[in-house]
Amino acid sequence: MSDGFDPELVPDARGATRRPEPECPVEVALAAISGRWTTLVLRELTAGPRSFGELRAALPTVSAKVLTDRLAELTRRGLVGKEVHAGFPTRTSYQLTTAGKRLRPLLVELYRTGAALLAETT
Amino acid sequence: MSDGFDPELVPDARGATRRPEPECPVEVALAAISGRWTTLVLRELTAGPRSFGELRAALPTVSAKVLTDRLAELTRRGLVGKEVHAGFPTRTSYQLTTAGKRLRPLLVELYRTGAALLAETT
DNA sequence: CGGGATCCTTACGGATACTG
DNA sequence: CAGTATCCGTAAGGATCCCG
């Protein structure tokens, strides 16, 4: 019943699809880190909780709309948690959830792989 | 001179950017696997060399244009090699280069992470 | 401070038809 | 067989202005 794929690459049936499926683990992971600025936001939050303004300060050229979009999507996926502290001015705090912290090894591997590719062509 | 980031996540200055930079290793790796169908094409080629038609047969609902686009981009990046065997009908063969094979651990990690995220919410 | 509401532009993916 | 050439709709990213 082999599907012809390396079992380490495709360990179970969910990865043996013939087209992009949102339920495929690879697509799930890609969706989590996809979108411009997303990995940078995750990098910031990996260092600890951050407010909206702190994120903007760390990433000065991201627009408010895009940052809001990224945080909303990450929150929707359960990767980031949001706390609003009442008062004026309003203070918020974004932080990685347990699920969000699971992205860490993937980010490390992204860096490793990218560095290897860069070294290859140089 | 710490930048405040975890040194495993951001091992050198190339990862300490304040906006998306094409030279950042993370962006390089993301670019390599980005685009719909790309990881599926890579999965097929990981199993061995494939012709254009074989790839279409394995991924029946991908259009010729998109498949061409993906193969051209992967080839341009030096991740995939192309051999054209003269004759009629024309036969081609696409295969992973040494650089392309370096994407394998990343694909494995994508699957692992995605599976972990799916397990988390279920 | 922390966004929401608009508007705009372009990049991407897909469908269809055709060619060496 | 292995693509190329067009055309098209959508969605993503970004700029600007406004509000609680």
**pLDDT tens over chain A, length 122 residues:** 567 899 999 999 999 999 999 999 999 999 999 999 999 999 999 999 999 999 999 999 999 999 999 999 999 999 999 999 988 889 999 999 999 999 999 999 999 999 999 998 77
H or E element that contains A91: strand A91-96
Q: Which residue of B has its CA nearest to A31?
A: B114
User: Which residues of A fall within a CB distance of 8 Å from B114?
Assistant: 24-30, 32
**pLDDT tens over chain B, length 122 residues:** 557 899 999 999 999 999 999 999 999 999 999 999 999 999 999 999 999 999 999 999 999 999 999 999 999 999 999 999 988 899 999 999 999 999 999 999 999 999 999 998 77
User: How far does the CA of residue A82 sit from the closest CA of chain B (Å)?
Assistant: 18
H or E element that contains B111: helix B104-121
Cβ distance B43 to A10 less than 8 Å, yes or no, reads yes
User: Which residues of B fall within a CB distance of 8 Å from A2?
Assistant: none
Radius of gyration (C-alpha) of chain B in whole angstroms: 18
Of the candidates B26, B58, B108, the beta carbon closest to that of A39 is on B26
Query: What are the residue boundaries of the structural domains of chain A, listed by start?
Result: 36-121
B92: the nucleotide nearest its CA (via C1') is D2
User: Which residues of B fall within a CB distance of 8 Å from A46?
Assistant: 5-6, 9
Q: Which positions on chain D have an atom < 7 Å from some protein CB?
A: 1-6, 12-17, 20
Q: Which fold has domain B36-121?
A: Arc Repressor Mutant, subunit A (1.10.10)
Render pLDDT for A43-69 as a digit per residue (tens, 0 to 9): 999 999 999 999 999 999 999 999 999
How far is Cα A49 from Cα A82, in angstroms, rounded to an integer?
9
Name the pTM for this structure: 0.96
Ranges of H-type helices in chain A: 25-33, 38-46, 52-58, 64-76, 98-101, 104-121
Q: Which residue has the tokens 């080839």?
A: B75
Of A77, A28, A6, the residue nearest B112 (C-alpha): A28
Sign of CA dihedral B76, B80, B85, B90: negative
N residues, chain B:
122
Of chain B, the end-to-end C-alpha distance in Å amounts to: 42
